[in-house]
Structures are given as structure tokens and as C-alpha cells.
Structure 1
Amino acid sequence: MDVELLKSIFENRFAIPDNYQVAELTPQLMKNLGAVRSDLRDYSYMTLSAWIWGWYDRTYYNDVEMLELAEKAKCNIKIGLGETESDGVFLRSYSILLLNDLTDFHRQHPYIEEPEIRDRMELYLTYLEKEQDLRGYISPEKGWSHGIAHVADALGILSLNSYLNDLDLMRLLIGIATKLRQPVPSVYIHSEEERLARATVKICQQNILSIEQINSWLDILTETERRPSGPLIWDDFEKYPWRKILTSPTEQLCAYRNIQNFLRSLYFQWERSENIIERQEPVRQLIYQALQFIETGFANSDRGFFLNP
């Protein structure tokens, strides 16, 4: 399927072209999710999404066909998982986008049984742990890969599913914490931590997790290696537990910056959230305490970078 045909579908409000059938075009669209050219990939994904949701008409897939699409997407997500910076990331990342649509559609039109939702949860957690291609925007020709941002969105949507319980939601949060704590060669630069924070807000706003569970997760996120105190004021581990991270290897320092930026984003997203829940303020305080604990800078000048004896 060439880009001109895809463009014409897009410009015609995703109507099925004359002399074509959905069943004929769908496998080609699925294949294009892994295209290196961003226009092929984007038009193909938007078309599949529009046909699932019925943006301008009706959904073009029945329940069985949507489950078949999901199976293909799930297979795609596993292909090459663990590779570093290869074009295979596009198929994985855009298949997550599609699977997220198929999962979200269930909220308006229930068609997925609990085992399938749990299977998708396991896949998302595996992907989050093992994806090593952390690029966002790559080039004008190749466009976006953005796998971590896409799976973050998928976790947020998945958390809205009634099949999941508090232990499931904790697993999602711990998966996010584990990814943020992974030593990496560079910090996230395309708002991946913002998307992970947005997913976290959705997870915590389900009013399923207790205050104690959220607090224990924040402890996991901000736990730091205990080091012996030195002779200088900033070497006091009890007062400045994260201070020595600034002289750690680059990969560990980048992980620290990802955690720090994530918590800053989480704090402000939580504070500005429109979906006010009963525990809004207690959770905000927990997030701020975690931020204070990890900060080497602005959150608390007494614990920050510039220290007075």
C-alpha cells in the first residue's frame, strides 16, 4: 500500500476506497506499522484507529476481528524486544499504540474477557522492563519511535479496567519505578517522564490503592544505596542521602535525573488534576515528601546543592 492511497483515505475521512475491502487493506496497514517512513506508519496507524473507533461512520471490525488484531499487535510487540536503536522499534511502538486503542475501546463496548486483559498487562510490563531503544524523535524521515511514552499511555488506559485490583495496580506502579531506576546512557528528552507521570496519576486516582500502598511505592522509587558518611557536611548520608549521586557514573546519574524529573512532573500533574478525589491532599503530600527526599536542588535549600555549614 503506497502513501498516496493512505493519504487519500485520510483526506476522505477514512472512508474505504472504491474497489477495496477492509479485510484486504487491514493486513497491509498492520505491516506498515513497522515502516521506516514516518508518513506510511502514521497514516496506517491513524486509519486502523479510525476504523476501530468509527470516527466518522461506524467501527469496521467486529469483536472477533478486534481480538485478532490484538493478537497480531501482541506478537509485533515481542519482535526484537531488547534491541538497542534499530528500526525494529517502530513495529513494537506503533503496535502498542494500536493495542491501546483496542483496549480502550473495551470501555465503551465491552468485548474482552479478564484473561485477555491480564495477558495485555503482562505484555506491557515485560515491554516496559525490556525495551532498550529509548529514543523519542529520531529524524524527519523516520519520525517518532517513542516506545516508552506509548507504553506509559497504555498503562494509564489499562488501569481504568475494572478487572484489575489493587495488587495489579501496584505492579503497574512498580514497573514504572523499575524503569525509571534503570541506569541509562542519557536522560529522557522527549517528555517520556511526563507520560509516565500521567499514567501514574490515572493509576492512583482509581481510589483502589491505599495511602500505605502509594507510600510504599514511593519508597521503592526513591530508595538509594546506603553509603558511609564522609568528613564534609554534604557527606552526611542521613541528611543528604542522594547528594553523592552527582559524582556517580553517568548511567546512574541519568537514572537519578529521570526519577527527579518524573517526581516533579507527578507533583504538578497531581496538584492540577481535575479529577479530585478524597485523598488528593494526602497523596500530594506524599509525592512532595518523596521529592524532598531525592532532591539535590531546589525543593529544599537546606538539603540542596549549595549547603551552608
Structure 2
Amino acid sequence: MDRMFWQSIADNDYAVPTGYSLAVLTSELLIQLGSIERAFREELVYPILDAWISRGYYASNDLSNMAMQLSHNLTKGLGEQGTDTVLLRSYSLLTLTSIIYEDGRQRWLEKSLVKQLLGGALAHLALEKDLRGYDNEKGWLHTIAHSADYLFAFALHPLIEAHDLERIMDAVAAKISEPVAHVYLYSEEERLTRTVIGVLQRDILPLAFFVEWLQQLIHPQGRTALNADFESGELMKIVRSETETCARHNTKQLLCSLYFQLLAPGFAQLSFVHESPSLAPQLLPHVQATLNEILVWC
């Protein structure tokens, strides 16, 4: 099946063509999620799968099997940097997000599978090393943003409980404050902030947890604090370390995004957040205080 075939499906409002098996077509699309042809992957393969998932074309068992295959895809090439394996991981994440988001409303999947998929999502985020956002040839790679979208869908899912939400928050903190020689340029911090807002909107975790989480962000366990103290010479330690400087920048950007999201819901593009969490008024000054601990410098 060539690209024109898939284009005809998109042009026909994503209807399954007469005489073709949905299962066979889906198997081909799942393989093509890792295609290096950007327009094919971004404009046809993923959108077709997303449309078929959101329209309820699949039985529960089909979605379970699909989710397991996609979750396994997250391990393929994991830990590599600069290779094309990132494409399969990234677009598998997007498709998984569609499944979990819709399952939160329709409840197709077993609770045990939802929890298993969450575990896979958290493991992937911790181990993902290809942090590229956009490539002029290959288009959107964006694994961190797509991981954030996936965790956001979990944060909203009714089967996700308090301890699961804590694990999501801890994973976000660990990733954004990770010492890496990379500065996020493509709104990754806004997408991760949206995940935090999703957790807040569940109104399950207490304010004390989020206050402690903020300190975890700028005082990573076992590492130099990401805030700066001129008198102790802490700033110079950070400046001399490229990876810690990037970690501090990325953390600062997330905190800024979180501050404005709490102040004005929907601040970030693609936030899909329309109402302020109930904890926003109490949490906002703590976010501001944490920002004040991070010295603003160029």
C-alpha cells in the first residue's frame, strides 16, 4: 500500500476503505510509525490511527494488544542518541496517548494494563537520551514532549491513584532537572508543565506534596543545588559544569511555565487546561519563592 492509498483514507474522512481489513491496515500503520518520511508519518500514519482510536473502531482486546505493542516500541533503541529509532518511540508515544486519553472516558482497558502501561511510560522517560525536538529533514522527534503528553493522559485517567500521581510528578522532576548537555527549545517544559497541571486538577495530592516537590526540583538528591549562592561560591560550581547549567536552565523554564499556568490557565500553547486547579492560589506563592531561589542570569 503506497502513500496515495493512505492519503485517500485521510481525504475520505478517515473511513476504513471497503474491502480492507481494519486489523491488516492497523498492522501496517503501526510499522510505519517509525517511517523516516516526515510528511507520511506526521500527516497520515499517526492521524489515521488517532482518528480510528477516537472513533471507537477497535474492540477492547484490539486496543489492549495495540497498547502492548506500542509500549514495547518504547524500548527499541532506548538510550541511543542521534539515531532514527527515536521516530518509532516518539510516534508510539503519541498513539499511546490517544489510547489512554480515550480510555479515560470509555474505560476499555483493564486496570492492571493501565498501571502496566504507566510503568512503561515512566521507565521510558527516565532512560530516554535522544532529547532532540525538531530536525529539518526528519521533522518532529520530540520524545520528551510526547512523553509529557502521555503522562498528562495518565494524570487525568480515573484509574490512576495518589501514589501513581506521585510517581508521575517525581518522573517529571527527575527529567527536567537531569544534568544533560541539552537545553529544551521546543516547548518541552510547557508540555511537562501541563502534566503537572493535570496532576493538580485531580485534586488528590495535598499542598505539602507539591511544596516538597518544588524543593526536589532545585535541590536534586546527591547533586549540587540548582539555585545559586554567591557567598558560598555555588554559582561558580554550576557555571563550570555544562550539564548542570543546562539542568538549571531547563528547571527554571519549567518553573516559569508553571507559574504562568497557575496564574493564567491556558497560558502555554497546547495546554488544553481551561480551569485553574483548586490548589493554584495556595501553590502560586511557593512556585514564586522557588523561582526566587534560582538566580536569573544570562
Corresponding residue for residue 36 of structure 1: 36
Write the deviation string for residues 159-179 of structure 1: whole angstroms up to 9, x where unpaired.
112222222211111111111
Q: CA separation of 1:90/1:208 partners in 2, compared to 1, >3 Å: closer, same or farther?
A: same
- TM-superposed CA distance for 1:245, in Å, is 5.4
Equivalent pair of 2:200/2:277 in contact (CA under 8 Å) = no
- Are 2:253 and 1:261 equivalent residues in the alignment? yes
| Aligned-partner SS, 1:264 | helix
Corresponding residue for residue 288 of structure 2: 288
1:116 to 93, 98, 113: 113
Mapped partners of 2:124, 2:110: distance in 1: 22
Matches within 5 A, 1:44-63: 44-54=45-55, 59-63=56-60
| Aligned-partner SS, 1:123 | helix
How many residue pairs get aligned? The number is: 285
Segment drifting more, 170-179 vs 274-283: 274-283
- Are 2:225 and 1:221 equivalent residues in the alignment? no
Q: CA separation of 1:161/1:242 partners in 2, compared to 1, >3 Å: closer, same or farther?
A: farther
Q: CA separation of 1:180/1:245 partners in 2, compared to 1, >3 Å: closer, same or farther?
A: farther
Could you tell me the TM-score, scaled by structure 1's length?
0.87
Q: CA separation of 1:186/1:277 partners in 2, compared to 1, >3 Å: closer, same or farther?
A: closer
Corresponding residue for residue 148 of structure 2: 152
Could you tell me the TM-score, scaled by structure 2's length?
0.90
Equivalent pair of 1:242/1:294 in contact (CA under 8 Å) = no
- Are 2:167 and 1:171 equivalent residues in the alignment? yes
Equivalent pair of 2:82/2:130 in contact (CA under 8 Å) = yes
- Are 2:99 and 1:107 equivalent residues in the alignment? no
Write the deviation string for residues 181-203 of structure 1: whole angstroms up to 9, x where unpaired.
21112200111111111111111
Corresponding residue for residue 70 of structure 1: 67
Corresponding residue for residue 181 of structure 1: 177
| Aligned-partner SS, 2:182 | coil
> Could you say what the CA RMSD is over the residues aligned between the two structures, in angstroms?
1.9
- Are 2:14 and 1:22 equivalent residues in the alignment? no
Mapped partners of 2:170, 2:294: distance in 1: 17
Corresponding residue for residue 208 of structure 2: 212
Corresponding residue for residue 190 of structure 1: 186
- The unaligned stretches of length 5 or more in structure 2 are 266-273
Partner amino acid, structure 2, of 1:219: Q
Mapped partners of 1:87, 1:101: distance in 2: 23
Mapped partners of 1:103, 1:245: distance in 2: 42
- Are 2:228 and 1:236 equivalent residues in the alignment? no
Partner amino acid, structure 1, of 2:239: T
Write the deviation string for residues 8-46 of structure 1: whole angstroms up to 9, x where unpaired.
111111112243221221111000001111122121111
- TM-superposed CA distance for 1:7, in Å, is 1.3
- TM-superposed CA distance for 1:226, in Å, is 6.0
Partner amino acid, structure 1, of 2:231: D
Mapped partners of 2:4, 2:113: distance in 1: 36
Mapped partners of 2:252, 2:197: distance in 1: 16
Mapped partners of 2:135, 2:208: distance in 1: 40
Corresponding residue for residue 85 of structure 1: 82
Equivalent pair of 1:243/1:296 in contact (CA under 8 Å) = no
| Aligned-partner SS, 1:289 | helix
Mapped partners of 1:150, 1:142: distance in 2: 16
Mapped partners of 2:247, 2:224: distance in 1: 17
Equivalent pair of 2:76/2:85 in contact (CA under 8 Å) = yes
Segment drifting more, 43-52 vs 160-169: 160-169
Corresponding residue for residue 139 of structure 2: 143
Partner amino acid, structure 2, of 1:296: V
Partner amino acid, structure 2, of 1:216: E
Mapped partners of 1:72, 1:167: distance in 2: 26
